[in-house]
């Protein structure tokens, strides 16, 4: 038995007792990320409580994707996460395994819902950095978990939500986001150094475009660079860009910024070279739903993978 991440057969056998039978035989699985915009139970500062209509649209979007693993940003405390989990289960979509990671921000968090067992947890909840002589903490922390899909396949997932592009008085928002990106990249590099072939997914709301410094830091360079899955709308577009230097002109925006009335791609699913070998491009897309904005100012993205080493 070959496991790229390496575990004893005894521990693995115990874990597999928890894997749903439907998942073990599955040929492919899907991983999604969704910023659910202030999914909180009660108002907090400028953040309103999530309305029933907005919650219903969030669940509708998740049901449309039916991901096996779902990373969430801007989820509230554990009560809010478990309320969403319970509501999804009532809708026929069960996520028995979950992770909730905290950070400096005590209103919104990152979390993961999974149909597969989470076999290791390494939350990063107290990371800090110096900027212009001042000490800051990473606002939302990072979730890092190992997920066992079946007897032969496992992957590591990092879920992140970097500093927003909203200006703050204490420091430059872009510089703060770059520092958070550097910390996340250090953790990615540690995983790749331990095992260059590790199955690794880095996903979430990075709050900037692909050519920004913070996003480029996380993607990296050379053999350690991550592959950008670049999900797009399933609207029939299939032609290459007339300029071969650029990506196809597919519709890839994930976020509407109301202040500027702009649409941009700031949510990502990034893959290590080990994980990219199992990537199923045909099952990777941006969900398009009528009245998507009732649920969130973001649109969810999903990627598909073969559940076997290649």
Give dist(CA 263, CA 246) in Å, integer.
19
8 Å CB contact between 61 and 287: yes
pLDDT at 169: 85
pLDDT at 125: 95
Phi, psi angle pair for 65, to nearest 5°: -85, -40
Q: What percent of the chain has pLDDT over 70?
A: 92
Domain of 26 in residue numbering reads as: 9-306
With a CB cutoff of 8 Å and minimum separation 6, the contacts of 290 are none
pLDDT at 13: 45
Nearest to 302 by CA among 115, 76, 61: 61
Give dist(CA 120, CA 114) in Å, integer.
13
Q: Is residue 155 part of a domain?
A: yes
Q: Is residue 4 part of a domain?
A: no
Flag whether pLDDT at 1 surpasses 70. Answer: no
Q: Is residue 211 part of a domain?
A: yes
- For the residues 152-173, what does the mean pLDDT come to? 94
Helix (H) or strand (E) holding 269: strand 267-271
The count of structural domains within the chain is: 1
Q: Which residue has the tokens 């409580």?
A: 49
Give dist(CA 9, CA 13) in Å, integer.
6
Flag whether pLDDT at 14 surpasses 50. Answer: no
CA distances from 289 to 75, 280, 294, 298 (A): 21, 22, 10, 12
Q: Is residue 1 part of a domain?
A: no
> How confident is the model over 70-107, as pLDDT tens digits?
999 999 999 999 999 999 999 999 999 999 999 999 99
CATH number of the domain bearing residue 132: 3.60.10.10
Q: Which tokens hold the place of 167?
A: 């200006």
Q: Which tokens hold the place of 76?
A: 């509230």
Mean pLDDT, all residues of the chain? 92
> How confident is the model over 200-254, as pLDDT tens digits?
999 999 999 999 999 999 999 999 999 999 999 999 999 999 999 999 999 999 9
Q: Is residue 3 part of a domain?
A: no
- For the residues 280-307, what does the mean pLDDT come to? 98
> How confident is the model over 193-209, as pLDDT tens digits?
999 999 999 999 999 99
Q: Is residue 2 part of a domain?
A: no
User: Helices 52-65 and 78-90 meet at what angle, rounded to 10?
Assistant: 60
User: What length does the chain have?
Assistant: 310
Q: Is residue 36 part of a domain?
A: yes
């Amino acid at each position: 038995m070959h496991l790229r991440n390496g575990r004893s057969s005894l521990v693995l056998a115990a874990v597999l007792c928890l894997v749903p039978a439907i998942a073990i035989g599955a040929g492919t699985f899907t991983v999604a990320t969704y910023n659910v915009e202030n999914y909180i139970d009660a108002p907090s500062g400028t953040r309103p409580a999530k309305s029933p209509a907005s919650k219903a649209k969030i669940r509708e979007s998740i049901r449309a994707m039916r991901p096996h693993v779902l990373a969430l940003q801007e989820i509230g405390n554990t009560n809010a996460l478990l309320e969403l989990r319970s509501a999804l289960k009532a809708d026929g979509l069960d996520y028995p395994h979950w992770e909730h990671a905290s950070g400096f921000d005590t209103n919104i968090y990152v979390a993961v819902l999974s149909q597969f067992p989470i076999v290791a947890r390494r939350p990063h909840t107290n990371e800090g950095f110096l900027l212009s002589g001042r000490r800051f903490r990473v606002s939302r922390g990072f979730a890092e978990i190992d997920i066992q899909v079946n007897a032969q396949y496992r992957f590591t997932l990092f879920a992140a939500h970097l500093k927003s592009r909203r200006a703050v008085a204490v420091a430059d928002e872009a510089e703060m986001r770059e520092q958070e990106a550097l910390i996340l990249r250090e953790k990615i590099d540690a995983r790749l150094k331990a095992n260059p072939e590790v199955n690794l997914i880095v996903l979430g709301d990075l709050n900037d475009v692909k050519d920004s410094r913070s996003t480029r830091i996380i993607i990296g360079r050379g053999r350690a660079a991550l592959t950008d899955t670049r999900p797009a709308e399933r609207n029939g577009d299939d032609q290459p860009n007339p300029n071969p230097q650029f990506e196809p002109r597919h519709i890839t925006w994930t976020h509407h910024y109301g202040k500027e009335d702009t649409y941009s791609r700031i949510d990502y699913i990034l893959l290590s070279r080990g994980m990219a070998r199992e990537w199923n491009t045909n099952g990777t897309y941006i969900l398009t739903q009528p009245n998507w904005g009732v649920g969130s100012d973001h649109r969810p993205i999903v990627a598909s993978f073969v559940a076997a080493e290649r």
